[in-house]
Chains A and B, each alone.
Chain A
Amino acid sequence: MAGLSDAWAHSTDAELAARTREGDPDALAALYERFAGTLMRLAYHTVGSAADAEDVLHDVFLGLPEALERYEERGNLEAWLKRVTTRMALTHLRSRDRKREVAFAPHDEPSVSSDETAIARRIVLARALRTLPDSLRVVFVLKQIEGYTHQEIGELLGIRVGTSQVRFHRAVKRLQKLIRSEL
């Protein structure tokens, strides 16, 4: 992996984007090395499954050179990639909902903490998050994990700010109920 991207370790995001757009596979690999962790995290919490998150990540990077034609280099590349990943994750959710019944597939529980209570709370939160309906979980993830404002969430999901706030509230309410019943 490192061998593919060593040449680009000191390049700026804009440089990598430009070379990726031109079809340079090393530049694409460098972008992956630089952003895959962040994007995987976003995809994973949005779709709720490691396997689906890998699919999302794969699709994003597979079409990235072409998609970068639409990147206008005015903003932050990472933010743009997160928007693209979010939209891809949403389409996977829609596809998943319609195509098959989904077995609840657990994933690794959080494991790094010196505080047992915190561990327990995070395990419970992780489980509770997975049980949320997709529409609520997506808003919660974008708000509380990714730090988007409701305005940004509204633009990303094509919903009104008020709708985003209400969904967030419903997510909080459900999580509160689930967490309190477990702890």
Chain B
Amino acid sequence: MSWLRRHPDPVTLERYANGESPDGEGERVQSHLLACSSCRDHVEFVRSLAREASQLSAPEPPTDLIRRVVAERSSSHGTIVALAGPARRELRPRRVAVLAAVLALVILAGILDRLVINGWSPHPANSSGPAEGADCMANSPLRQLLNASGLLLATACAQQATEPVPSEPVTAAVLDPSRLSPVRLRYEDRSTTDGIVTVVRSEEELTVQETTFKEMPAWRLVAVREHRFGAGRNFDTTYIDRETLRPLTTDWHYVTCCTNKRSHTRKAYSADSVTVHSSFKDWRRDFTVALPDSTMPIASGTHVNQLLVALPLSQGWEGSLLRLGWDPRGEPWYRTSLRVVGDDKVSVPAGTFDCWRLESPYDSGTIWWVSKDQQWLIKTWYRSDPDYEHETVLISAEELD
């Protein structure tokens, strides 16, 4: 078939539409277009997108923003500070290496069918119990906790690679609710990017308190995030079942500082789905998302920190987590995984803590440090490309009555 009759692929047409065809290709495409209305339509559509996109409006830059910047720079609040972080590394190759290594281990160990990172294949009903000393498989408190709590936390323990993981839920009695306790934790976010060294003056205060929700014993998690320089605030209130740690409902509000515009998202969880309602001024969106596995609810926002408290962390522990979010692929939920890879002594404004170090190989190389005693989240760090790193640090902790 000659070029004239063969349709160019859409990428070629789009190059042509944008005037980026290499030598020779443009003429061939042009000749084809003379005889092909469907390809002409596609070229015209791409060009119309360019015309219309260039006409899209955008908000005006705030007139007072530069005054705030100038004032902040002249203040003594350490707006511009140097940050020290772990040595630079290329995360993309590393992530590929980690994935390749994990996959190789999985295949070699023959644990692919038990690995629940993708999780959710059924396990033999009559699974044998764990070997003595196992702490993360089968009928272990972890598994019971996770299943009963409905935590979307499926475990794969390298030490017990041949031990099957039971699929039946466990009773609430095996939970250890005392791992959670009323507490107020305050965090600060910092980031540095592209040579712009900045303290991101965003602070979040998380308060965890016992309460009831629709007459059920529950934990109430309230997170208030003050965005930097008074740009706005987030309020996030999540209720979780006190015995299962399953989220019941989440209300998230964002209020802008100056115009007082409010955005609201509410999530209500049922056994197999979550219903989301979002609104902003006169805009509304409502939808329901089915959960991939009805036994495993979603860890959402501040809820994640409390899941860390409840986990039986130890060297070698590994587990997956399902989160509701807006993944770049467009999925309404995504899985991430955590594993304990070591321990460190970590100093943050709140003090110095002996911590487990957890990595999230599917989460762009995030490192989490969790204190060994109360398993509070002490610090997170990630570098998503050579020019960007981000950390969250605990600045104070207060145990409440």
Do residues A53 and B59 form an inter-chain contact, with CB atoms below 8 A?
yes
Separation in Å of the A170 CB from the closest CB of chain B?
Answer: 10
In the complex, the answer to whether A172 meets B252 with C-beta atoms within 8 Å is: no
- 0/1 per residue, A34-59, Cβ < 8 Å to B? 00110111001100001101110111
A175 to B56, CA, bound (A): 15
What residue in chain B is nearest A168 (Cβ atoms)? B14
Contacts of B63 in A (CB 8 A): 1
Pair B195/A149 contact, Cβ less than 8 Å? no
The size bracket of the interface on B is 35 or more
Interface pair B49/A144, CB less than 8 Å apart? yes
Residue of B nearest to A40 (CB): B61
Point out the residues of chain A lying under 8 angstroms from B327, CB to CB: 97, 133
Q: Which residues of B contact A88 (CB under 8 A)?
A: 193-194, 196
Asked if B54 is at the interface of the complex by the 8 Å CB criterion, the answer is yes
Q: Which of A33, A87, A166 contacts B193 (CB 8 A)?
A: A87
Interface readout for B30-70 with A: 1 if CB under 8 Å, 0 if not? 00000000000000011001101111111111111111111
Nearest CB in chain A: distance from B257 CB, A: 10
Decide if B72 touches A62 in the complex (CB within 8 Å): yes
Q: Count residues of chain A with CB under 8 A from any CB of chain B.
A: 80
Cβ contacts A137-154/B at 8 Å (1 or 0 each): 000110111000110000
B209 within 8 A of A: no
Assuming the contacts A62-B198, A97-B325, A125-B56, asked whether A176 and B45 have C-beta atoms less than 8 A apart, the reply is yes
Q: Quote the shortest CB–CB distance from B333 to chain A (angstroms).
A: 10
Q: Which residues of A contact B324 (CB under 8 A)?
A: 101
The reply to whether B59 and A169 form a contact with Cβ atoms under 8 Å apart is no
In residues 364-382 of chain B, which contact A (Cβ within 8 Å)?
Answer: 364, 366, 382
Query: Which of chain A's residues have a CB closer than 8 A to the CB of B52?
Result: 118, 121-122, 125
Q: Are B265 and A101 in contact (CB under 8 A)?
A: yes
Given that A66-B196, A103-B280, A144-B49 are known contacts, is A126 also in contact with B328, CB under 8 Å in the complex?
A: no
| Residues in A48-102 with C-beta less than 8 Å from chain B | 50-51, 53-55, 57-67, 69-70, 84, 87-88, 90-91, 94-95, 97-98, 100-102
Q: Which of chain A's residues have a CB closer than 8 A to the CB of B301?
A: 100-101
Q: Which chain A residues have a beta carbon within 8 Å of chain B's beta carbons?
A: 1, 4, 25, 28-29, 32-33, 36-37, 39-41, 44-45, 50-51, 53-55, 57-67, 69-70, 84, 87-88, 90-91, 94-95, 97-98, 100-113, 118, 121-122, 125-126, 129, 133-135, 140-141, 143-145, 149-150, 158, 165-166, 168-169, 172-173, 175-176
Q: List 7 other contacts, CB 8 Å, given A103-B280, A166-B11.
A: A25-B73, A32-B66, A55-B231, A67-B195, A98-B382, A103-B278, A144-B49
**19 pairs across A/B with beta carbons < 8 Å?**
A1-B67, A32-B66, A40-B58, A54-B62, A58-B65, A59-B200, A63-B198, A90-B388, A98-B325, A100-B234, A100-B236, A103-B280, A110-B55, A110-B57, A118-B55, A125-B52, A140-B53, A145-B53, A165-B15
